[in-house]
Amino acid sequence: MTTTVSLKKQLHELLPALRRFAISLCGNVADADDLLQSTLERLLSKGIPEQVEIMPWAFKVCRNLWLDEHRARQVREKATQQPELQEATSEAVDTQVSDQLELQDINAALHQLPHEQRTIIALVAVQGLSYREAAAIIGVPTGTIMSRLARARSKLAEVMGLATDAFSHQQSGASS
């Protein structure tokens, strides 16, 4: 087993990549942060087996925790569709299901974007990074980030069937 101090240092270095991975699994920052916390708790409490590289192991733990939660959520959603299991909170369940469907629509639309545009949306819109920070991560000029983001937003609106006329005209100067 790795020493606790060494493990904490390695996890600290791995944290940004692990968080990005959690976001890609969950589709939103709040759930990803919960998943990341659970992953870190599990890694710190159980440790890393000997002769195992920390990065692949951490990603595997994160993925397994996400799968467990995803399966549990599916069971809960299935249970809410059975009238005998529903309580008086059907309005809250309707809102939750509606939110989940909207999130699924957004995720499906995001996956129709080219990788470079999806990455920009993930960095700027999901993780809340500035254009300058996103440019530094990807290794492109800030202007490139701005134009890719404009194209990504326009394409996302188009894919989701949102009104794009006013948006497209507004962004046409930034997409060169």
Q: Indicate which CATH number applies to the domain containing 165.
A: 1.10.10.10
Q: Are residues 152 and 168 in the same domain?
A: yes
Q: Are residues 164 and 108 in the same domain?
A: yes
Contact 80, 93 (CB under 8 A): yes
Q: Are residues 47 and 4 in the same domain?
A: yes
Mark 122-137 as b/e (b = at least 16 C-beta within 10 Å): bbbebbebebeebbee
Which pLDDT does position 175 carry in this prediction?
A: 41
Q: Are residues 3 and 82 in the same domain?
A: yes
Two structure tokens written together for 61: 């733990």
Q: Are residues 103 and 175 in the same domain?
A: yes
Q: Which of 66, 86, 106 is the last residue of a domain?
A: 86
Which pLDDT does position 91 carry in this prediction?
A: 65
The total number of structural domains that make up the chain = 2
Q: What percentage of the chain's residues is helix, strand, coil (to nearest 5)?
A: 80, 0, 20
- Cα end-to-end distance, the chain, whole Å: 53
Which pLDDT does position 30 carry in this prediction?
A: 92
Q: Are residues 113 and 172 in the same domain?
A: yes
Contact 99, 91 (CB under 8 A): no
Q: Are residues 80 and 54 in the same domain?
A: yes
Which segments of 27-129 does DSSP mark as H helices, in order?
Answer: 29-46, 54-80, 90-110, 115-121
Which pLDDT does position 167 carry in this prediction?
A: 47
d(CA 39, CA 54): 12
Which pLDDT does position 34 carry in this prediction?
A: 95
pLDDT in tens, 1-38: 556 788 889 999 999 989 998 898 888 899 999 999 99
Show the domain range for 68: 1-86
Which pLDDT does position 83 carry in this prediction?
A: 60
Task: Compute CA 154 distance to the chain's CA centroid, rounded to the nearest angstrom.
Answer: 20
Q: Are residues 118 and 57 in the same domain?
A: no
Share the mean pLDDT of the chain. 80
Identity of residue 167: F
Which pLDDT does position 163 carry in this prediction?
A: 58
d(CA 51, CA 4): 16
Q: Are residues 42 and 82 in the same domain?
A: yes
Q: Are residues 113 and 139 in the same domain?
A: yes
Q: Which of 35, 58, 86 is the last residue of a domain?
A: 86
Q: Which of 86, 115, 130 is the last residue of a domain?
A: 86
Residue 162's SS3 state is coil
Residue 87's SS3 state is coil
Q: Are residues 115 and 54 in the same domain?
A: no
d(CA 6, CA 123): 29
Q: What CATH number does the domain containing 27 carry? A: 1.10.1740
Count other Cβ atoms within 10 Å, centred on residue 154.
20
Which pLDDT does position 169 carry in this prediction?
A: 46
Which pLDDT does position 43 carry in this prediction?
A: 92
Tell me which residues of the chain have a pLDDT lower than 50: 88, 166-176
Q: Are residues 79 and 136 in the same domain?
A: no
